[in-house]
Amino acid sequence: MAEKLSARLLMHPLDFLALGFGSGLVPKGPGTAGTVMAIPVYLLMEPLPANIYLALVAALFIVGIPICAHTARRMGVHDHPGIVWDEIVGYLVTMMFAPPGWIWVAAGFVLFRLFDIAKPWPIRLLDRNVGGGFGIMVDDLLAGIFAAVVLQLMVIFLVSTS
């Protein structure tokens, strides 16, 4: 039986994570709310050495596959908008090599949301054709990679010309 999106879902630990600690319950723009929730997670991870940060993001992606699959099955919808663990991981990917500072936190946020919403090729292809928990996660991983590349280009061109 499919569950409706409700605060009751937060009582199950996997749903709590998949719903972005509750941010996915926001009725308008749950993906944006999930990305906002990713900011404090990023700020906690920012001081980590690059290799530890990378390993942690990889682990969060891998555990996200069964987490998102569980909640999608429980909700009876492949990729319900309230499932935002993928947005959290995608934003962390975007910020992987970002310099410190709120301007970069904000730029990464905007870039990730643009790529996640617009879903340019091949992101849209993955979103439409890959199922299960991996399908929920992989399009946001790629959106995060695209956003990270653009963010790094901004760093190179804006910082080096200052």
Q: What is the mean pLDDT of the chain?
A: 93
Mean local confidence (pLDDT), 133-152: 97
Would you state the pLDDT for residue 28? 93
Coil vs helix vs strand at 115: helix
Among 123, 125, 124, 13, which Cα is nearest to 63's?
Answer: 13
Would you state the pLDDT for residue 11? 87
Between CA 152 and CA 129 the distance in angstroms is 29
Between CA 122 and CA 20 the distance in angstroms is 25
Banded model confidence at residue 8, pLDDT cuts 50, 70, 90 = confident
**pLDDT tens digits for range 31-42:** 999 999 999 999
6 within some domain = no
82 within some domain = yes
Domain of residue 132 covers 13-160
The C-alpha R_g of the chain, in whole angstroms, comes to 15
54 within some domain = yes
2 within some domain = no
Least trusted range by pLDDT, from 19-28, 109-118, 142-151: 19-28
Banded model confidence at residue 6, pLDDT cuts 50, 70, 90 = confident
Would you state the pLDDT for residue 68? 97
The domain total for the chain is 1
1 within some domain = no
7 within some domain = no
8 within some domain = no
Look at residue 2 and tell me whether its pLDDT is greater than 70. Answer: no
